[in-house]
Structure 1
Amino acid sequence: MNKVKDVVIKPLEKSIYLKPHTMHFTQNGLKRTWDLLEVHDSVAILLHNTQRNTLVFVKQFRPPVYFGSIPEEDRSNEIDTDKYPPELGITLEMCAGLVDKDASLPQIAKEEVLEECGYEVPVSSLIKIGSYRSGVGTLGSLQTTYYCEVSDEMKVSQGGGVGDEIIEVVEMTVPEVQKYVEQDKVPSPPSFLFAVYWFLYNKVK
């Protein structure tokens, strides 16, 4: 996963996922502009293997996180991956996916669980935790998070994603998760923290 090399930063090229816009508006009599990105909404799933009492996450290399870890003066030309190792861009997240098909959110969530983590789950087992806006300064996309309980018998593949996805499935005990979220700097998105704290508050006795 962390064998990343030949890293070069370039201006935005043609993208099927990102559409940049500038919004012009008047607020309290003041003319303003705001740059933003149009992106797909998404789903995320917090998986709890109740048989072993572990939470199931995914680990992957996130280019924006890696980019944000590199000082501006070193972002030109090819990035020195010895000076800035790829581990700087690896995050721990919930299983998740884009809403980019004509299907219900639970159905998309079910498919993501199978593709990324290898569990075959019924749609009825997905419990909605909530929906919220992410990246409100630039994106404002809607993410919907579900909670789902699984067992070893529901594991039908190793997961790891499809196509060019490179995903590592990670299982953590509840004490390990508690210790992880108590770090000073957590290499995970806010949605991860939201779901984990929801679990600790609602499911841990």
Structure 2
Amino acid sequence: MNNITNIVMKPLEKSIYLKPYTMHFTQNGAKRTWDLLSIHDSVAILLFNISRNVLIMVKQFRPAVYLGTINPEDRKMDSQIDTKKYPPENGITIEFCAGIVDKKLSLAEIAKEEILEECGYDVPLSSLQFIGSYRSGVGTSASVQTAYYCEITDEMKVTEGGGTEEELIEVIEMTVADVKKYVTQQDIVQSPPSFLFGIYWFLLNKGPSLKL
């Protein structure tokens, strides 16, 4: 997954996922503008394997995260990024299983499909517990992400997961102790805020009953 080479920055071309806009408006008598992106809504699933008391997560290369680690002076268009100065590992994130809402299915059905595709567990729809919906990237896209919690067992594992060839996802497991240590670091730059929300929800709502 980390064998990433020939990284080149180019201007945005035609995209099926992103639609850029500039909003013009007047606020308190002053004319303003704001650049926006329209993107798909998404689902995210917090998976807890009760057979071994571990949280199931995914690691993947996120180009946007990688770009954020590169000095603006080194982001020259049509020039290769120096991967020795900026190792691709800097763009590897730890996240929940997730996916965009791009099918005519219920959110729970999309979540079930993502669990199977990314993590390899075939779960019944009834096992998905709704956590809540919230907006991501309120400064640019404000898309809605819906989070679910799902308890799984080793017996539900039917494939190795890993997503599609385009995604290149690595499935990882973390103990509750490891997760607590991870989210209490000063710098948690390899995970999105929704990940932190999900972990703290889990510790607050499931920790006591699971005696974690």
Specify if TM > 0.5.
yes
Shift of 1:163: 3.6
Query: Where does residue 196 of structure 1 map in the other structure?
Result: 199
CA distance in structure 2 between the aligned counterparts of 1:55 and 1:28, rounded to whole angstroms: 48
Partners of 2:68 and 2:15 in 1: how far apart?
20
RMSD: 0.7
**Displaced runs of 4 or more, over 6 A:** none
Corresponding residue for 1:35?
35
* TM-score, normalised by the number of residues in structure 1: 0.99
Q: Deviations over 1:147-177 (max 9, x none)?
A: 0000000000000002421000000000000
Q: Which residue of 2 aligns with 1:71?
A: 71
Partner of 2:45: 45
- Counterpart residue type for residue 30 of structure 1: A
Stretches of structure 1 lacking an aligned partner (at least 5 in a row): none
1:166-204 deviations in whole A, cap 9, x for unaligned? 000000000000001111211100000000000011111
Residue in 1 that maps onto 2:120: 118
State the Cα distance separating 1:120 from its structure 2 match: 0.3
Write out aligned runs for 1:180-195 (5 A). Answer: 180-186=182-188, 187-195=190-198
Of residues 151, 160, 172 in structure 1, which corresponds to 2:153? 151
Q: How many residues are matched?
A: 205
Unaligned 5+ runs, structure 2: none
Distance 2:21 2:67 in 1: 22
* Equivalent-residue separation in structure 1 for 2:29 and 2:81 (angstroms): 45
Identity level (%): 69
**What TM-score do the two structures reach when normalised by structure 2?**
0.95
How far residue 75 of structure 1 moved from its aligned partner, in angstroms, is 1.1
Distance 1:111 1:192 in 2: 20
Distance 2:124 2:23 in 1: 41
Amino acid aligned to 1:42: S
Query: SS at 2:179's partner residue?
Result: helix
3-state DSSP of counterpart to 2:14: coil
In the alignment, the residues of structure 1 paired with residue 116 and residue 82 of structure 2 have an alpha-carbon distance, to the nearest angstrom, of: 36
Residue 30 of structure 1: how far off its partner (Å):
1.6
